[in-house]
């Protein structure tokens, strides 16, 4: 359209052809320059950038996954201020016998208890077993004692209190003691592996029937009778009938007392959605020979779920709802002052 008009104008004004061509070229470049400037201006204005960005997000939002929600750095749980804490625990020792620990450990004479005052405070964990059953090392280590002793080195009691027994030194100055054996199958100084047969179950020493007595000791070459730890804090957790790991529970009583006093505790297990307990557990805290232990009671191989803990001590009543998680240790501190 523009070229036709220009030709008409050329004919009517009768301009020289050379001048007419210059005029046409000048007009063409002027129009081209204006068009380019407008394009550049639109490309760099903030309004144009915003429009383009919004358009790009709208067109691609269905194919770009949302950004993950950022979380703050986890803060270590403080069981002195929280209702309970759930930690990994230190379940690194395998079973010292073949079979399920749930079935092997009698509940009446646990670590730190006295069997309702009928026995001395228990510094280890007993396992039901038959005479001659193989006893296994719970972890890699070195035999530091194997046999029966004439002197009171590993206990303050009469000679041969443990009967035939074995002491193994493990990493980090931890020791395990296996007592009342009918046979000792290893010698002092030998290196052993976890699961290796080291002896056989018996009833030698001070024992009521055949069983295995296991202790976990720390430091002093494994000789200090009072430097023990609860084996249930160290032994691996069993699987339930569905192949899921049980959990464990550690309870500490804070009554402001200068010594430990055995206290009765009741635990009620509530399955998901249940309004009444499915199971009730009666337990008792450590006696006064266990002042060096941070906790007052440990229950391992517990069914995961919610539990109500009820405790009536010398200074009053306390209760707490806690959760036990598969493969974990739940730590609880009950304050009654």
CA distances from 149 to 155, 158, 220 (A): 10, 10, 17
State the average pLDDT over residues 285-311.
91
Residues in the chain: 337
Instruction: Say what the pLDDT of residue 118 is.
Output: 80
Q: How does residue 26 score in pLDDT terms, banded at 50, 70 and 90?
A: low
State the average pLDDT over residues 180-197.
98
Topology given in CATH for the domain delimited by 101-233: Glucose Permease (Domain IIA) (2.70.70)
Radius of gyration of the chain (CA): 40
Q: Report which of residues 169 and 153 the model is more confident about.
A: 169
> Does residue 23 have a pLDDT over 80?
no
* Per-residue pLDDT tens over the stretch 83-96: 899 999 999 999 99
Q: Is the pTM of this model over 0.85?
A: no
* Per-residue pLDDT tens over the stretch 29-79: 454 444 444 443 344 343 333 333 333 333 333 232 333 333 334 456 887
**Pair 298, 248: CB distance under 8 Å:** yes
**Strand, coil or helix: what is 102?**
helix
Instruction: Say what the pLDDT of residue 76 is.
Output: 67
- The number of CA neighbours under 13 Å toward the Cβ of 27 is 10
Considering only 28-42, 126-140, 247-261, which range has the smallest mean pLDDT? 28-42
| CA atoms of 202 and 306, how far apart (whole Å) | 39
- The helix or strand, by DSSP H or E, that contains position 323, with its residue range, turns out to be strand 316-324
Instruction: Say what the pLDDT of residue 311 is.
Output: 86
Q: Report which of residues 273 and 321 the model is more confident about.
A: 321
> Does residue 244 have a pLDDT over 70?
yes
Instruction: Say what the pLDDT of residue 31 is.
Output: 46
**For all residues of the chain together, what is the average pLDDT?**
80
Per-domain residue ranges for the chain? 2-51, 85-89+236-335, 101-233
Instruction: Say what the pLDDT of residue 102 is.
Output: 86
Give the CATH number of domain 85-89+236-335. 2.60.40.1120
State the average pLDDT over residues 302-316.
87
| CA atoms of 262 and 249, how far apart (whole Å) | 17
> Does residue 201 have a pLDDT over 70?
yes
Q: How does residue 283 score in pLDDT terms, banded at 50, 70 and 90?
A: very high
* Residue 306 phi, psi dihedral angles, 5° rounding: -95, 140
Instruction: Say what the pLDDT of residue 2 is.
Output: 43
Highest mean pLDDT, choosing among 97-101, 107-111, 181-185: 181-185
Instruction: Say what the pLDDT of residue 79 is.
Output: 73
């Amino acid at each position: 359209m523009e070229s036709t008009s220009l030709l008409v104008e050329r004919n009517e004004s009768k301009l020289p052809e050379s001048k007419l061509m210059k005029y046409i070229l000048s007009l063409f470049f002027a129009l081209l320059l204006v068009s380019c400037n407008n394009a550049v201006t639109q490309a760099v204005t903030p309004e144009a950038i915003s429009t383009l960005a919004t358009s790009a997000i709208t067109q691609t939002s269905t194919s770009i996954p949302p950004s993950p929600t950022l979380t703050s750095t986890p803060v270590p749980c403080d069981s002195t201020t929280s209702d309970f804490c759930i930690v990994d625990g230190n379940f690194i020792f395998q079973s010292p016998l073949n079979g399920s620990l749930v079935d092997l450990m009698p509940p009446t004479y646990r670590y730190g208890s006295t069997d309702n005052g009928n026995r001395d405070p228990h510094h280890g964990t007993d396992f039901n077993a038959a005479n001659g059953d193989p006893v296994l090392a719970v972890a890699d280590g070195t035999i530091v004692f194997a046999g029966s002793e004439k002197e009171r080195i590993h206990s303050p009691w009469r000679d041969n209190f443990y009967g035939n027994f074995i002491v193994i030194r493990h990493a980090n100055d931890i020791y395990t003691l296996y007592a009342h054996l009918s046979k000792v199958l290893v010698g002092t100084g030998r290196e052993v592996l976890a699961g290796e047969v080291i002896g056989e179950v018996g009833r030698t020493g001070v024992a009521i029937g055949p069983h295995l007595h296991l202790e976990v000791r720390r430091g002093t070459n494994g000789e200090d009778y009072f430097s023990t730890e609860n084996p249930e804090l160290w032994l691996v957790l069993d699987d339930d009938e569905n192949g899921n790991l049980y959990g464990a529970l550690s309870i500490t009583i804070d009554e402001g007392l200068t010594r430990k006093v055995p206290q009765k505790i009741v635990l009620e297990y509530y399955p998901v959605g249940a309004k009444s307990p499915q199971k009730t557990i009666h337990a008792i805290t450590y006696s006064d020979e266990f002042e060096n232990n941070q906790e007052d009671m440990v229950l391992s191989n517990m069914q995961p779920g919610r539990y109500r803990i009820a405790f009536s001590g010398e200074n009053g009543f306390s209760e707490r709802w806690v959760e036990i998680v598969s493969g974990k240790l739940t730590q609880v501190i009950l304050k009654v002052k």
